[in-house]
Structure 1
Amino acid sequence: MPTTSAPSSVTSTRRPGHPAAVLWDMDGTIVDSEPYWIATETELATENGGTWSHEQGLAMVGRPIADTAELLRDLGVPGTVAEISDELVRRVAGRIRTEGAPWRPGARELLTALGEAGIPCALVTMSYREMADAVLEVLPEGTFAAVVTGDEVTHSKPHPEPYLTAARMLGVDIRDCVAFEDSVPGVASAEASGAATVVVPMMIPIPPAPGRSMVHTLEGLTIEDLASVLAGTPLVRM
């Protein structure tokens, strides 16, 4: 397993009550890359005489890439799970580099506001490092003070390890962090870690739960909104 990056030396200049850090899922939360994944999964299955439905693609949203690779192998895609995973990542990263990665509404603006307020951000994605790097290439340098990818953790989402790792890298208490997620496994991971979690559903519905913050878009979201969530006041804008 690749070695996760060393803890960050970022010094926050946040105001009292503001999050110590904001932890971001990537696919479907920052960028609209989920359609690329489903298209690539369909492509691989079809090339090898299998079929891959849109529903199968949706069922894999937020899950480890190895789970998808295992299903594709069962459909006849040649190679080991690791080899199929690498091929998926290579093709999706290629699509992002050639076609771009559409921003989710409000993501760019909120990332900019957090940077200006001195609140560090971490990227917490189950995509592999190659895929994350393709997205990072289109972001301003320094947008994320830490990056955690699916090939750099022992336990993938829904396990809390990815978010706990991000908080450790930033040198902050996970309970002082806000996390953004769009998938069921991702939400489970963030909530289990102890982060104040804001759900932003995209392709799959996520049920409400007592105390769960849910918004239909990041547009218009402010740092003060995140401070309220951190203080225990759920944000519901659906």
Structure 2
Amino acid sequence: MTTISTPTGSLTQADGGGLRAVLLDMDGTLVDTEDFWWQAEASLFAELGHPLDEQDRAHVVGGPMTRVIDYLLARTGLEIDPAELTVLINRRFVDLLAGGVPLMPGAERLLNTLDAHGIPAALVSASHRHIIDLVLYSLGAEHFAFSVAGDEVARTKPHPDPYLLAAARFGAEPARCVVIEDAPTGVQAAEAAGCPVIAVPSIATIEPAPGRLVLPSLELVDLDLLRSLVTVRV
């Protein structure tokens, strides 16, 4: 079901060019890797004697890794250095990527549409640079002007820093950069940055809110929709 909630007050198309860029999350939004992250985390903790369940999965979706690690250690009481645990999870995740990364339904069409109409795009992820570079082999680096990794900003999602950085690199106001996200942490980051948001939930539920469009699939996202979300209050 498609739901949208807009702010009270009158809305008009943004002056000076409207839509400037589209900022896209990676895991769970463009590529179906959330299962890979969960398999890496769940299998490792099972081997360490701390089985995880579906409630845990809902808590860890969307990263960033520091938040995931803090949650898992508090939840299980496992005594291990957080840096060591991060390395173990990342290694297992990379092994799972060896067979390639499946794209989410509608992702390829959306990226091709942006290319065809000259709409610049950036990949903004909480994943670390080496993970992004691996996934870009499947996703196609040519679709993006640049990418922002979680280990390249002082504060990653749910803080607004990654999206503020991406908008600044485009020389654009955040209100003219539409963000597409799948997880609550990413939505929080984008909204804190002042970007209009399309949420396509993967694992965790995302409720409608002012200025936030919630859709069941990327297949419903087209250029007209993206342009319609670039509005300013008057």
Matched, 1:32 2:21: no
Distance 1:83 1:165 in 2: 29
Q: 1:94 aligns to what?
A: 95
- CA drift at 1:47: 1.6
Please give the residue correspondences for 1:126-145 in structure 2 after superposition, counting only pairs within 5 Å.
Answer: 126-145=126-145
Distance 1:96 1:45 in 2: 19
Matched, 1:105 2:102: no
Runs (4 or more) in structure 1 with deviation over 3 Å come to: 70-79
Distance 1:202 1:141 in 2: 23
Distance 2:128 2:55 in 1: 23
Equivalenced residue count is: 217
Q: 1:23 aligns to what?
A: 23
Evaluate the alpha carbon distance shift between residue 205 and residue 232 of structure 1 in structure 2; reply closer, same or farther with a 3 A threshold. farther
Matched, 1:82 2:77: no
Matched, 1:179 2:179: yes
Distance 1:93 1:147 in 2: 19
The structure with higher relative contact order (CA 8 Å, sep 6+) is 2
Distance 1:141 1:157 in 2: 22
Q: 1:13 aligns to what?
A: none
TM-score (norm 2): 0.85
Please give the residue correspondences for 1:186-201 in structure 2 after superposition, counting only pairs within 5 Å.
Answer: 186-201=186-201
- CA drift at 1:71: 4.0
SS at match of 1:102: coil
Q: 1:165 aligns to what?
A: 165
SS at match of 1:203: coil
Is the CA contact (8 Å cut-off) linking 2:207 and 2:214 kept in structure 1? no
CA RMSD between the two structures: 2.0
- Identity across aligned pairs (percent)? 39
TM-score (norm 1): 0.84
Is the CA contact (8 Å cut-off) linking 1:97 and 1:134 kept in structure 2? no
Distance 2:148 2:27 in 1: 13
SS at match of 2:131: helix
SS at match of 1:142: helix
Between stretches 189-198 and 167-176, larger displacement belongs to 167-176
Between stretches 70-79 and 129-138, larger displacement belongs to 70-79
Please give the residue correspondences for 1:207-218 in structure 2 after superposition, counting only pairs within 5 Å.
Answer: 207-218=207-218
- What is the CA deviation profile of residues 111-153 of structure 1, one whole-angstrom value per residue up to 9, with x for unaligned ones? 1110121111111111111211111011334211111111111
